């Protein structure tokens, strides 16, 4: 059997009342085989992963400006620090690897500014760095104390490529949002698998840990949608990373695995949470996801709106002095954009605002910008924003939807057109894919590196920032250095 085979047959072959333990579900074995055996030889994947690492650490730096993020950082309870443990960037915390994974996951995801993957399911594969970096630093510091050699940065990038592939591979054809589950279920899955191997687990330990991840089921994504939208979406990935490390640590201790956690009738994930359907896969696990991942470079905004924001920026000069003359604004987006971020009515907090297409278009039309600060109450209190939102219509463009699902395109198209009371209008501005798309890497990477430089200079002593910038310009040197040495440069 291969990754492409449905594993429902496993359920048919085994009576749910039988005490005979079946062969592990094929999807769990496929993950174990991929993590343990697959050799990554794609230069593009490693190059992209290196930029992904720097971009994620930039996101973590910018998150430190937000008190609501910072209050999540540190030990779970006061005094539960771990000398010699995993370090939390831009802080002095040293923690056990599970809690450090939570901290890092919170920092990277807080501003909705790290990378993205869009398909049947959505998500942010660099969320997995919370678990990967925490475990790598914990293991590396422990190994160094015992006279050994820690993982290199390149080793860590390899694990990140595999985590991206697992999360993104599952997302291609399997929609967890359709059954009400949040996409961080795939962060937990991918992080569980790779950190189990990092901790020394063999294939059996990997599928065992993965079985526990599926038994956890998933969290409801109600905190991403009206009327319950709230900031849990900014720490949900960190929570998934923490749980993943817990499963990995348990697996390498020898806990029992659950071979038909997915497929067993009545009690398995498929029947309980996935409407009785088994997982489907578009392609085998390779390095496809990392090579095609989408970077959020210019705007901290939900990714289905990235090109809409670009469109609005192009129209700012034409409309900024005619705001009172606007009759309507027509927005066209993909089906997923309509379903996730088309919102009317009051927006109660920043999490509501950064997942509202109309808000994310109104701000650049009015101000010619969209930054993390534009989601605050202070900016949202400008009456012009809600007045303009009230003049917007949102509809699906079927071509945008088709291009969104096309595996050779993976576009995220949007269009914006403004109509005035005197009958005139702007041109209809339409953009198929944002600056963070693979097709715009040459244009996007310098902007990404500018994002990194600005972020670290704002949070680190000058000497540390200069060394990091020098290293980022020397890929071979950066990838060869111990991960512990690199993460030490982010300590304050």
The token pair that represents 60 in the structure block = 């973590």
Neighbours of 474 (CB within 10 A): 11
pLDDT of residue 1: 37
How far from the centroid of its chain's Cα atoms is residue 117's Cα? 7
pLDDT in tens, 212-256: 999 999 999 999 988 899 999 999 999 999 999 999 999 999 999
Q: Of all residues in the chain, what percent carry a pLDDT higher than 70?
A: 97
pLDDT in tens, 339-381: 999 999 999 898 899 999 999 999 999 999 999 999 999 999 9
Strand partners, 392: 329
pLDDT of residue 16: 56
Closest CA to 197 of 374, 12, 38, 328: 38
What span, in angstroms and rounded, lies between the C-alpha atoms of 92 and 461?
Answer: 14
Report angle CA 133, 60, 354 to the nearest 5 degrees. 125
The token pair that represents 12 in the structure block = 């048919």
Whole-model pTM: value is: 0.89
pLDDT mean over 9-28: 75
pLDDT in tens, 276-303: 999 999 999 999 999 999 999 989 989 9
Dmax over Cα atoms in the chain, in whole Å?
76
What span, in angstroms and rounded, lies between the C-alpha atoms of 280 and 176?
Answer: 12
Given phi > 0 = left and psi -120 to 50 = alpha, else beta, which region is 393? beta
- Percent helix, percent strand, percent coil in the chain, to nearest 5: 55, 10, 35
Strand partners, 117: 123
Residue 398 has pLDDT above 50, yes or no: yes
Neighbours of 238 (CB within 10 A): 28
End-to-end CA distance of the chain: 50
Q: Is 204 helix (H, G, I), strand (E, B) or coil?
A: helix
Q: Is 482 helix (H, G, I), strand (E, B) or coil?
A: strand
pLDDT in tens, 265-274: 999 999 999 9
The token pair that represents 10 in the structure block = 């496993």
């Amino acid at each position: 059997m291969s990754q492409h085979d449905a594993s429902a047959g496993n359920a048919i072959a085994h009576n749910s009342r039988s005490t005979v333990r079946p062969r592990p579900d094929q999807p769990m074995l496929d993950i174990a085989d991929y993590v343990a055996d697959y050799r990554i030889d794609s230069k593009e994947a490693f190059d992209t992963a290196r930029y992904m690492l720097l971009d994620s650490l930039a996101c973590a730096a910018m998150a430190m400006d937000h008190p609501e993020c910072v209050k999540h950082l540190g030990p779970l309870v006061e005094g539960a620090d771990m000398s010699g443990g995993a370090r939390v960037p831009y802080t002095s915390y040293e923690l056990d690897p599970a809690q450090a994974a939570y901290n890092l996951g919170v920092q990277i995801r807080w501003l909705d500014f790290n990378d993205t993957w869009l398909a049947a399911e959505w998500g942010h594969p660099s969320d997995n760095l919370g678990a990967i970096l925490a475990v790598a630093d914990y293991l590396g510091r422990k190994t160094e104390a015992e006279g050994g050699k820690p993982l290199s940065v390149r080793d860590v990038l390899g694990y990140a490529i595999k985590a991206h592939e697992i999360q993104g591979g599952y997302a291609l054809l399997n929609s967890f949002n359709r059954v009400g589950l949040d996409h961080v279920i795939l962060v937990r899955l991918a992080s569980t698998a790779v950190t189990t191997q990092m901790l020394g687990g063999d294939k059996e330990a990997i599928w065992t840990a993965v079985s526990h991840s599926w038994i956890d089921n998933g969290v409801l994504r109600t905190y991403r949608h009206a009327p319950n939208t709230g900031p849990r979406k900014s720490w949900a990935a960190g929570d998934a990373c923490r749980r993943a490390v817990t499963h990995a640590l348990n697996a390498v201790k020898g806990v029992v695995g659950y071979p038909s956690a997915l497929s067993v009738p009545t009690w398995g994930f498929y029947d309980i949470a996935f409407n009785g359907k088994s997982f489907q896969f578009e392609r085998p696990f390779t390095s496809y996801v990392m090579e095609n991942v989408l970077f959020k470079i210019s705007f901290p905004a939900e990714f289905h709106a990235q090109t809409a924001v670009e469109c609005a920026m192009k129209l700012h000069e034409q409309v900024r002095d005619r705001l009172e003359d606007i009759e309507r604004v027509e927005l066209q987006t993909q089906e997923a954009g309509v379903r996730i971020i088309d919102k009317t009515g009051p927006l109660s907090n920043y999490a509501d605002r950064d997942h509202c297409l109309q808000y994310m278009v109104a701000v650049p039309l009015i101000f010619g910008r969209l930054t993390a600060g534009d989601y605050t109450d202070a900016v949202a209190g400008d009456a012009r924003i809600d007045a303009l939102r009230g003049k917007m219509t949102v509809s699906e463009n079927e071509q945008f939807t088709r291009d969104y699902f096309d595996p050779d395109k993976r576009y995220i198209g949007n269009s914006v057109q403004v109509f005035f009371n005197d009958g005139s209008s702007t041109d209809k501005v339409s953009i198929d894919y944002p600056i963070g798309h693979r097709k715009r890497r040459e244009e996007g990477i310098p902007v990404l590196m500018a994002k990194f430089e600005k972020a670290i200079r704002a949070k680190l002593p000058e000497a540390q920032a200069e060394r990091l910038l020098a290293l980022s310009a020397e890929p071979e040197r950066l990838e060869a250095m111990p991960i512990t040495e690199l993460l030490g440069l982010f300590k304050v």
